[in-house]
């Protein structure tokens, strides 16, 4: 079954990726290809290594002192763990929305403008303002905060903060967006809006999303990876995973028998 | 009259409290509590009844003790302390009896304990407040006496400080010139020099410790730096006097200038070194307390470590850093020993760091030591200096608090 995205060269190619936290092996020998212009969902029980795998793609695991990553990760055919790659630059191309929203202790506006200011993305007058508005609109937060852009971001509700950090990531216009349970605190309307956004974003970006909602994974993703105890158990087209999984553990997980 | 204060009576009060606790606890433990639905006073545990009894007994006991103590003077000991002792032992039976009677399922002992704790804490806070108030009141009182002799205008704006030498012969007797400007200027100048050293260095040390040092380095370096704060100030003064002062003098001589060993620069530099750990240790604590998730958020947006530090971490830690600076400034203003030894006692009004200057605290010591009539203007001037210093530091604290609060409210 050949689909359009498997014909394209993959955005990421992981071979034999393992991550250790000290002595603890959080990810074991992962081989996975992530297609560009598509949504890949990572599912699995809590603690199975979904967030760890997500952080492999933007080298965020390196900020954890005793974390070690092994194996090969290619992005557009380039080894992103090669010594010549600057992780700081990599992260401007691979954006990330964390599991726990952590807005900076600044205003809503300054939070979204943080990345663009850092990288000098908006030079002309008024351009930054437009960029901030555009990012907030895409994240579905604009209507709620347009009159209070100078409000300190930490005083937003958790659901609003989750969309704010999404807007913050969108503002630097990365090629890849990693989302770690971006809808965990969103109401159904905001979730639907987020899913619509993901649908739109995938026309241009590569999106990898961690979710605990089977329904959400089924709705929005093209391919789904099921992780269990640090191993990649099954990785296939989403409809196949949800209708006819080949591993009983996947079957058990998606039907809610464990995890 | 000069009988020793009978502290042993307090021991009796303590014993009574323990007794009350035990008795009531025993009673309450045997109390059959019907399992009432809904929030009910019956939910009180035996310990609540017992604590209430002990507190009540203690309150009555201490009350009798204090009453006895105050009556001892006016009423010459009729039967020695016997009557007093008897009252102390007998009267607390009342609160104990009351507490026993209150051991009922419908008595809200738990609520009362809560209220008691609240009142107790409030009283303690009040003690601290009253103490401060008392100190200020005595300062104000003595300062008022001083301002009867010396005009407040002269004191606040005069630039001549020589309390020892009478300048108006036959005038107000022994008084000299009491223009406090040079003294305050000296204080702030030395504080400024000290902060110019301790501020940047302390902050850099804090940033290094919290952001760049390995956990092992940090574990060794932090206590090592904190040792600096433990060195007695007189040792610092010594160091300033025999090492730093001469070094400055020699350096100036080498450049062709002739300066004294005692200078505000020597005092300020050494004081700065002394307060480095105050700034670094507290700043390190607040910088380390900035959540990792904030740093990660910035890193994931493609910020470098130093960008994250200046744009996110530092900003989040700002209230704490201001607090650290403030503490360091208070310490510098209050420091006396280093200044006496390294900057001299001469009240020069000079912004030249090589001149000898004096500070408020040094002058207070100078004014209050030696043979002096206690109500001479010279002695009273010490209180006036103290009062003005107090007002200035108070304003400083209020100002800094306002800044801190602004950030707290907006960003936490
Ligand atoms: N910083 C860390 N130090 C040590 N161990 C870690 C660290 N982060 C994660 N782990 C461990 O690695 C394993 C995988 O963690 P990870 O956060 O990737 O799980 P997850 O699949 O995202 O779980 P969840 O769904 O609960 O978010 C867990 O067992 C966890 O305890
Ligand atoms: Mg996770």
Band the pLDDT of B152: cuts 50, 70, 90: confident
Give A209 Cα–ligand 1 centroid separation in angstroms: 16
pTM: 0.76
A154 near B CB under 8 A? yes
Q: Region A96-107: what's the mean pLDDT? A: 92
The answer on pLDDT for B40 being more than 60 is no
Band the pLDDT of B108: cuts 50, 70, 90: confident
Helix locations, chain A, DSSP H: 4-7, 50-56, 87-93, 108-119, 127-138, 142-145, 158-170, 188-201, 214-220, 238-243, 248-254
**What residues in B contact A114, CB-CB < 8 Å?**
298, 301, 311
pLDDT of residue B39: 56
- What residue ranges define each of the domains in chain B, with the CATH number in brackets? 8-135 (no CATH), 177-411 (1.10.3720.10)
Query: Which two three-digit tokens encode residue A257?
Result: 């028998």
Which one of A118, A120, A158, A171 would you mutate to disrupt binding with B, by most B Cβ within 10 Å of its Cβ?
A118
**Would you say the CB of residue A4 lies under 6 angstroms from ligand 1?**
no
A148 near B CB under 8 A? no
Q: In which order are the strands placed within the sheet that holds A231-237?
A: A94-97, A176-180, A206-210, A39-43, A223-228, A231-237
Which one, of B35, B29, B63, lies nearest residue B48 by Cα? Answer: B29
A10-254 has which fold? Rossmann fold (3.40.50)
The answer on pLDDT for B327 being more than 50 is yes
Give A184 Cα–ligand 2 centroid separation in angstroms: 11
Band the pLDDT of B202: cuts 50, 70, 90: very high
Band the pLDDT of B51: cuts 50, 70, 90: very high
Helix locations, B45-108, DSSP H: 46-72, 82-90, 93-101
Band the pLDDT of B70: cuts 50, 70, 90: confident
A141 near B CB under 8 A? no
User: Is A154's CB within 8 Å of B411's CB?
Assistant: yes
Q: What's the rounded Cα separation, in Å, for the pair B20 and B284?
A: 49
With the most atoms of ligand 1 within 8 angstroms of its CB, the residue from A26, A42, A44, A57 to mutate is A26
The answer on pLDDT for B168 being more than 50 is no
Band the pLDDT of A257: cuts 50, 70, 90: confident
pLDDT of residue B80: 67
pLDDT of residue B171: 46
ipTM confidence: 0.90
The answer on pLDDT for A121 being more than 60 is yes
Q: What's the rounded Cα separation, in Å, for the pair A232 and B333?
A: 64
Through-space distance between the first and last CA atoms of chain B, rounded to whole angstroms = 60
* % of residues, chain B, pLDDT over 70: 89
The answer on pLDDT for A4 being more than 60 is no
- Nearest CA, atom 28, ligand 1: A47
Band the pLDDT of B315: cuts 50, 70, 90: confident
pLDDT of residue B167: 45
Q: What's the rounded Cα separation, in Å, for the pair B202 and B209?
A: 10
pLDDT-wise least confident of A31-35, A42-46, B44-48: B44-48
Which one, of A183, A123, A130, A122, lies nearest residue A158 by Cα? Answer: A183
Q: Region A238-246: what's the mean pLDDT? A: 92
What is the residue-averaged pLDDT of chain A?
91
**Would you say the CB of residue A51 lies under 6 angstroms from ligand 1?**
yes
Quick: pLDDT tens for A123-181. Answer: 877 899 999 999 999 998 999 999 999 999 999 998 899 999 999 999 999 999 999 99
Q: Which residue has the higher pLDDT, B283 or B404?
A: B283
Quick: pLDDT tens for A54-85. Answer: 999 999 999 898 899 999 999 999 999 999 99
């Amino acid at each position: 079954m050949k689909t359009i995205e498997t014909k394209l060269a993959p955005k990421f190619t992981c071979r034999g990726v393992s991550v250790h936290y000290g002595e603890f092996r959080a990810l074991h020998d992962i081989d996975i290809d992530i297609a560009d212009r598509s949504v890949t969902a990572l599912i699995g029980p809590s603690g199975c290594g979904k967030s760890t795998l997500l952080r492999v793609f933007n080298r965020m695991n390196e900020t954890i002192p005793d974390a070690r990553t092994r194996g090969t990760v290619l992005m557009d055919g380039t080894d992103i763990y090669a010594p010549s790659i600057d992780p700081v630059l990599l992260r401007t191309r691979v954006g990330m929305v964390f599991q726990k929203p952590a807005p900076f202790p600044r205003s809503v506006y300054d939070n979204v403008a943080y990345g663009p200011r850092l990288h000098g993305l908006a030079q002309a007058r008024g351009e930054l303002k437009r960029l901030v508005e555009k990012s907030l609109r895409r994240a579905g937060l604009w209507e709620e905060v347009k009159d209070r852009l100078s409000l300190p971001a930490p005083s937003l509700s958790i659901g609003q903060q989750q969309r704010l950090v999404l807007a913050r990531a969108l503002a630097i216009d990365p090629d890849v967006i990693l989302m770690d349970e971006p809808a965990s605190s969103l109401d159904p309307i905001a979730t639907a809006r987020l899913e619509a956004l993901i649908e739109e974003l995938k026309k241009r970006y590569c999106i990898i999303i961690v979710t605990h909602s089977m329904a959400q994974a089924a709705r929005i993703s093209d391919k789904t990876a099921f992780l269990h105890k640090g191993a990649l158990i099954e990785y296939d087209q989403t409809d196949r995973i949800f209708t006819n999984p080949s591993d009983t553990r996947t079957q058990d997980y998606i039907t809610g028998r464990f995890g | 009259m000069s009988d020793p204060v009978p502290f042993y009576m307090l021991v009796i009060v303590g014993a009574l409290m323990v007794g009350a606790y035990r008795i009531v606890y025993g009673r309450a433990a045997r109390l059959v509590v019907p399992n009432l639905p809904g929030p009910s006073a019956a939910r009180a545990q035996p310990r609540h009844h017992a604590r209430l009894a002990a507190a009540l007994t203690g309150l009555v006991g201490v009350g009798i003790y204090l009453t006895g103590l105050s009556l001892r003077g006016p009423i010459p000991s009729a039967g020695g302390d016997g009557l007093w002792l008897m009252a102390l032992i007998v009267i607390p039976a009342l609160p104990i009896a009351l507490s026993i009677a209150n051991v009922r399922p419908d008595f809200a002992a738990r609520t009362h304990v809560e209220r008691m704790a609240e009142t107790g804490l409030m009283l303690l806070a009040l003690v601290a407040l009253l103490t401060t108030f008392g100190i200020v009141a005595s300062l104000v009182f003595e300062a008022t006496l001083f301002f009867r002799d010396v005009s407040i205008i002269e004191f606040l704006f005069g630039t001549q400080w020589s309390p020892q030498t009478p300048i108006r012969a036959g005038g107000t007797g022994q008084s000299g010139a009491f223009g406090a400007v040079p003294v305050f200027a000296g204080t702030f100048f030395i504080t400024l020099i000290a902060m110019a050293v301790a501020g940047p260095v302390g902050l850099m040390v804090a940033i290094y410790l919290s952001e760049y040092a390995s956990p092992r380095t940090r574990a060794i370096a932090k206590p090592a730096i904190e040792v600096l704060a433990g060195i007695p100030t007189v040792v610092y003064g010594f160091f300033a006097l025999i090492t730093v002062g001469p070094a400055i003098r020699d350096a100036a001589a080498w450049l062709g200038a002739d300066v004294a060993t005692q200078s505000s620069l020597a005092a300020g530099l050494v004081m700065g070194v002394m307060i480095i750990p105050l700034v670094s240790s507290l700043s390190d604590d607040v910088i380390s307390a900035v959540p990792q998730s904030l740093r990660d958020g910035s890193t994931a947006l493609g910020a470098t470590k130093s960008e994250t530090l200046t744009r996110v971490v530092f900003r989040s830690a700002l209230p704490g850093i201001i607090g650290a600076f403030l503490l360091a400034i208070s310490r510098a203003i209050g420091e006396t020993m280093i200044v006496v030894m390294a900057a001299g006692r001469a009240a020069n009004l000079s912004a030249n760091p090589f001149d000898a200057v004096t500070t408020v605290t040094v002058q207070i010591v100078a004014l209050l030591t030696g043979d002096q009539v206690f109500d001479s203007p010279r002695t009273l001037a010490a209180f006036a200096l103290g009062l003005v210093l107090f007002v200035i530091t108070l304003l400083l604290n209020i100002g800094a608090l306002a800044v801190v609060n602004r950030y707290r409210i907006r960003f936490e």
